[in-house]
Amino acid sequence: MDVICRCAFGMDTDMQNDIDNAFLRKSQLTVDQNPEQLFLIKLGNLMPFLIPVLTYIITGQALLLHLFRKVAPTWFSPQIEELARFWILKRVESVINTRMSSKSNERQNRVDLLQLMIDASTHDDIKDDVNDESMESKKLHYDEVVTTRSDIQDKLRAEIDEQEWNDENQLDYDLVMNMMYMDLVVREVLRMYPIIITSISRECNTSTTVCGYQIEKGSIIQPDILAVHYDPDLWGPEDPNLFLPERHHVKRHPMAYMPFCIGPRNCVGMRFALMELKMCLTQLLRHYTILPGENIEEGFKHRETLAIQPDAIYVKLEKR
C-alpha cells in the first residue's frame, strides 16, 4: 500500500508504522466483502443477459446512498459511514485537482503514475486516423482517470545469489527483471493461484463457431480463469495440478494464461505489480529460507462446483 500510494499518487502514507491509517482502513473495507457472494452478482452469473440492468441497480444503490449522505450529512453521518470507494475517489480527485491547478514546471517535476495519466489525458475525443469515424480517443479520458517445493526455492535462491549486486548490496531493477527462473516461478504461481478467477464479461458482436460450438451475436462470454489455467489440453502433457515452473518454457495458446486478464483492457498495473513482486521476493530470499508450516496448504485448496446456466452447463473451479 505504501509503494502504490507513493508511486501511483505521490503520497507518503507510512502504513507500515501507522496501522490506523485512513487509506489502509478504507481500502480494506472495499475488499472485505466478496462481491461474488452478493445476490445480484450471483443472479448476473446465472442469467448474463440481466447484467446491464443489474449493474445499473447496484451502481444506483451506491450513488443514491452517497447522494443522501451528501445532501443531509448531519443526519446520515452518525447513521451511515461514507462508502469506502467514494471516500478514496474523493481523495484521488482532490489530488488530481491540485495537480491540474499547479504550475506546469511543478507538474513536470513529479514522476508518478497519476502524473503520467494526467499528461496523457484530454477532455476531447480525437480520431485514431484520418479514415476513422468512430471518434475513439487515443488518449485517456479524464472520466477513466511462495512454494512448498524446497528444490525450486533453492534453485531460485541460487539464481539470485549468482547476480552481481552493487557495492551497497541494493536491488538492481535490470538484474531482478532479467532473472529467467524468477520469471518462470512467478508465472507458475499466478497460473495456479491467479488474483481473480473470473474475467470481465464481453458481448459477442458477430455470430461465430468456436471449437464446434455456435455462439450467437449478443451472447455474453465470461471466461473462467481457473478452468483455463488448469486445462490439461492447454497446459499438458504434465499434470496442471503440479507446480512446475519449467512448463512456461513451452509456447502456449495466447489466451491460455490470463492472471491479469488479457487484451487491450487488461490490468493497467500489470508491469508494476510484477516488478514489485519480483523485487520483494528477491529481497526476501536473499536473507531468508522459507520453510513449510503445519497450515501451509490452508487457503490454497481448489474444488469443483457445477454451475447450470440457460442452455449450458459449466464446471467452475473455485479457490477455497
Q: Looking at the domain assignment, is residue 136 inside a domain?
A: no
Q: Cα torsion for 224, 229, 231, 236, to the nearest 10°?
A: 170
- Number of independent structural domains in the chain: 2
Do 35 and 155 fall within a single domain? no
Do 161 and 299 fall within a single domain? yes
Q: Looking at the domain assignment, is residue 144 inside a domain?
A: no
Instruction: Return the pLDDT at 208.
Output: 92
Is residue 142 a contact partner of residue 123, using CB atoms and an 8 Å limit?
A: yes
Do 242 and 164 fall within a single domain? yes
Q: Looking at the domain assignment, is residue 177 inside a domain?
A: yes
Do 294 and 184 fall within a single domain? yes
Instruction: Return the pLDDT at 107.
Output: 55
Lowest mean per-residue pLDDT among 72-76, 86-90, 207-211, 267-271: 72-76
Instruction: Return the pLDDT at 110.
Output: 66
Annotated binding site for heme: 267
Q: How many CB atoms lie within 10 A of CB 179?
A: 19
For residues 168 and 22, the model is more confident at 22
Domain extent, residue 67, equals: 2-101
Q: How far apart are CA 57 and CA 51, in angstroms?
A: 10
Which one of 67, 101, 135 terminates a domain? 101
Q: Looking at the domain assignment, is residue 137 inside a domain?
A: no
Q: Looking at the domain assignment, is residue 193 inside a domain?
A: yes
How many DSSP H helices and E strands does the chain contain? 14, 8
Q: How many CB atoms lie within 10 A of CB 60?
A: 10
pLDDT at residue 26 tops 80: yes
Q: 172-223 pLDDT, tens per residue?
A: 888 888 899 999 999 999 999 888 777 667 788 999 998 888 989 888 887 7
Annotated binding site: 267
Averaged pLDDT for residues 137-166: 72
Do 309 and 177 fall within a single domain? yes
For residues 82 and 244, the model is more confident at 244
The mean pLDDT of the chain is: 76
Q: Looking at the domain assignment, is residue 18 inside a domain?
A: yes
